Amino acid sequence: MDNSKLCIRVAEPYGEKHVTVFGTEAAGPEAKLAFDLLEKWGLVACGPDGYDESGRQKLRMLSPAEMVSRAFDTAACAFQEARQRGLVATVPDLNEVNAEKDAKQAEKERAKGAQS
């Protein structure tokens, strides 16, 4: 996930600090299906490993480093395609959604502090 699509919010709903990490994109049903298919197809990750004596292609399992690299490359490619097809919705940033509420809460706290 692009870091600009990942947000962090710190709130104190009941006097305790609470950290929420959330994304600002949501995949639609078609994109979710594509990702599910990628998850299943990714279980059979092999690369070429020469040929046998009959001239048939031999395969080898990918190393963990190759598997990780392939998974991240595939995910980036899939999300780019989903965005181009309009299958990813941008959702509002929780910090923006709650800005008015946070301002009111801060004002209440300032007023409470001024009375003390």
CA dihedral for 43, 48, 53, 55, sign (positive or negative): positive
Q: Which pLDDT value is given to residue 1?
A: 47
The predicted pLDDT at position 92 comes to 77
What is the model's pLDDT at position 2?
56
For the stretch 24-36, pLDDT in tens is: 888 887 788 778 8
Over the chain (116 residues), the average pLDDT of each successive run of 10 is 70 79 81 81 79 90 82 85 88 79 85 79
Contacts 24+ apart (CB under 8 A), 43-48: 45/70
Say if CB 90 and CB 24 are below 8 A apart. yes
- pTM, 2 dp: 0.54
Residue 23 near residue 1, CB atoms below 8 Å: yes
